A and B are shown apart, each in its own frame.
Chain A
Amino acid sequence: MLKMLAARFVRLIATLLAVSFLTFFLVNTLPGDPINALIPPDAQQDREFVEQLREEYGLNDPFIVRYGSWLGDAINGDLGRSVITDQLVTDEIKHRIPVTAELAVVSIGIALLLAIPLGVTAGYRQGSRVDQSISAMAQFLLSIPSFIVGLILIYFLSIRLRWLPATGWTRLTESVTGNIKSVIMPAISLALTEIAVYTRIVRSDMINTLKETYVLSAKSKGLKDRFILFRHALRPSSLTLTTIVGLNIAGLIGGTVVIEQLFALPGLGKRLLDAIFQRDFIMVQGVTVFMACVYVVINTLVDIFYMIIDPRIRRKS
């Protein structure tokens, strides 16, 4: 097990290097001269000044040299400073990641809490009325975009009932209840789609698992159905779910832009979007590489989680 984890770690580092290189390459091929973002249009006419800045930022060096120096700094925890606001990119990430991560974790937590029992029930009673209503509900949830749910929630819970703040974010360190109040609506908005997806995945995997002989054999031992469902069938039915949840967490770290915008949350996605519009290439570079790293790390965690779920995978690798 330890040897295997070490091997995983080496692979993880290699992947991270490849990802950072590709990201650096892509950001560099974006159209527009980054210098133009730095200085007012009239100063852009001054060729000598522009040239001097290019030299100063190392923009005239060959691509590989620029990547090398960026990587060297990155390994030391320095992703540079925003060309617009002069903030350290790492500070921005540190400041904003708790918001995004909390949103991702809470929404996925809510989704799992509801989707697992729903999916198990639907799979267990396949074809019954309960199954049909759960499946219809999932279909319905899938077809509403999360920002619409957000708007509806804001309308009822904030404007009509005045229970929750419509926008803004209170940090956990400032006030626990305030934090809970600010996470509820965005988390639910994101969770509804996830509930639908997870329910369908658990249902179909459960239907397949229940056809296995070991389920019949568990039944022939006189075990209660609930025990068989949750202690025998759920684990083998959760491999696909693990994959999807992993991808979802990683995706939510980078992709909650719409919801962050709607609820005016100081999250990472929103920061990245702003940076792109401002041509703040150092910020884009840093945040993108960070998100890519999160993806890779979470994927590795998912692989490790597979081994926890299924002992046969432990042996194979």
Chain B
Amino acid sequence: MNTTVVSDAVVADANTSASPLLVVEDLHTSFSIPRGEVKAVRGVSFELEQGKTLGVVGESGSGKTVLARSIMRLNLGNNVTTTGSAKFRGLSILDQPPKSMRQLWGNEMAMVFQDPMTALNPLVKIGRQVTEHVRHHLGISKKEARSLAVDLLNEVRIPEPESRLDSYPHELSGGMRQRICIAIALACEPTLLFADEPTTALDVTVQHQILNLLNREQETRDMAMVLVTHDLGVVAGRTDETMVMYAGNVVEKTSTHELFNNMQHPYTEALFRSIPKTSERSHTRLTAIAGRPPDLIDPPTGCSFSPRCPYVQPKCREEKPPLIPVNDGSHLSSCWFPVGTEENKAAFRKNVAEGLPQTLVVEEALAGGSSEGSES
């Protein structure tokens, strides 16, 4: 008994003293296009420990996919600039030549893409796609690769794996294909997995299976995972930490549990309100977020969510709120009028009185919900 405690303490000590698996600091990524510079990621920092999961949540165009691809250095094209720092096992990724990146790709870090219909080569048999990189990285024989492929397909629960190896992607369903993609990503036993909207293109019935599969693999392999999604419901209960992104910025970041219980940022709240809930009556209207994400070539000067925020005040439009700790030190949020505070409520009342459209939408939804409740 005593010895276990001691050894646990040693491991814990070693873990805390060693730097985290992935440390990202002030990462910026922009694309230069004829119209100007698209600032897709504008200063993102986070850390990820081995075996932990991070959810990155935001609408389309909030920069989450670009962020994942920037860290993996998979942004194609020579019009892309990434600055800041990303350290994987202490190795500065942004400074690595392509050759050493190829050593990391597939081997140490892998990615599962959004759409399994397009992520697999339609003209190449499943068997080769599952293990070609293993053969490349580890130099195993064709025969070994085949038996490894069978093992992997078994692991991701594909029935009759042996015969699937000679199939082409179009002969499989979407869920099956995503399982194949996961098998490909896991093949070299990476320590870091990026799952970029892995269930967005799939049927609802399959989404849970895929997410559970990812979770199980992540836990059994003690792999770190970054789960990118536009759906707060996907990260709930599945990630250790969640980072909410808007217009290339992190607007809120904390443990997933804390985020759901004590959300601070109006954008997080807006995302949360747009999830359908089973507890609500079947015809309850969802509150959509008014407007669209801002133009990233010329982002708003103040808070980038201000044009759509129901609590917006003059200060929000002028001054960009910093990402600062709230309550306990690990919960970060960037808002002048955080959700739940008195200032926030005052701002809301003021905007309702002024008839601000995005505020009225929210007010209507809240009032609608309660009046329906009183009727029944």
Name A's B-contacting residues (CB within 8 A): 212-214, 216-224, 227, 231-232, 235-236, 309-312, 315
Contacts and interface: CB of A to CB of B under 8 A. Distances in A.
Given A222-B102, A222-B133, A214 B168 contact: no
Contacts, number: 75
Given A222-B103, A223-B132, A231-B124, 6 more contacts: A212-B118, A213-B115, A217-B184, A220-B105, A223-B106, A236-B121
A221 B119 contact: no
Given A219-B74, A310-B123, A213 B105 contact: no
B104 interface: yes
B355 to A, nearest CB: 45
B136 A213 contact: no
A216 B118 CA distance: 10
Contact of B74 (A216, A224, A309): A216
B136 A222 contact: yes
B122 A312 contact: yes
Interface string B254-281: 0000000000000000000000000000
Contacts of A218: 121
Contacts of B133: 221-223
A216 B123 contact: no
A232 B128 CA distance: 11
A219 B119 CA distance: 11
B22 interface: no
Interface residues of B, number: 29
Nearest to B181: A217
A214 B118 contact: yes
Contacts of A221: 105-106, 110, 132-133, 136, 184
B106 A222 contact: yes
B296 interface: no
B66 interface: no
16 contacts: A217-B111, A217-B120, A219-B74, A220-B72, A220-B74, A220-B105, A221-B110, A221-B133, A222-B102, A222-B107, A222-B133, A231-B124, A235-B123, A236-B122, A312-B170, A315-B171
B309 to A, nearest CB: 34
Contacts of A220: 72, 74, 105-106, 110-111
Nearest to A316: B170
A214 B102 contact: no
Contacts of B119: 213-214, 217
A236 B110 CA distance: 24
Nearest to B131: A221
The 5 closest A-B pairs by CB, nearest first: A222-B105, A222-B106, A221-B133, A221-B106, A213-B118
B115 A223 contact: no
Interface in B156-177: 168, 170-171
Contacts of B118: 212-214
B136 A227 contact: yes
Q: Give the residue among B72, B104, B122 with the most A Cβ atoms within 10 A.
A: B122
Nearest to A233: B121
B87 interface: no
B271 to A, nearest CB: 26
B1 interface: no
B113 interface: yes
A216 B102 CA distance: 13
A274 B78 CA distance: 58
Contacts of B113: 213, 216-217
A224 B120 CA distance: 17
Contact of B168 (A217, A219, A311): A311
A311 B170 contact: yes
A224 B106 CA distance: 12
Contact of B123 (A224, A227, A236): A236
A222 B168 contact: no
Nearest to B109: A220
B137 interface: yes
B102 to A, nearest CB: 5
A238 to B, nearest CB: 10
Contacts of B124: 231-232, 235
Nearest to B121: A214
A313 to B, nearest CB: 10
A223 B106 CA distance: 8
A216 B76 contact: yes
A212 B122 CA distance: 11
A213 B168 CA distance: 16
B168 A312 contact: yes
A246 B111 CA distance: 40
Nearest to B136: A223
Contacts of B110: 220-221
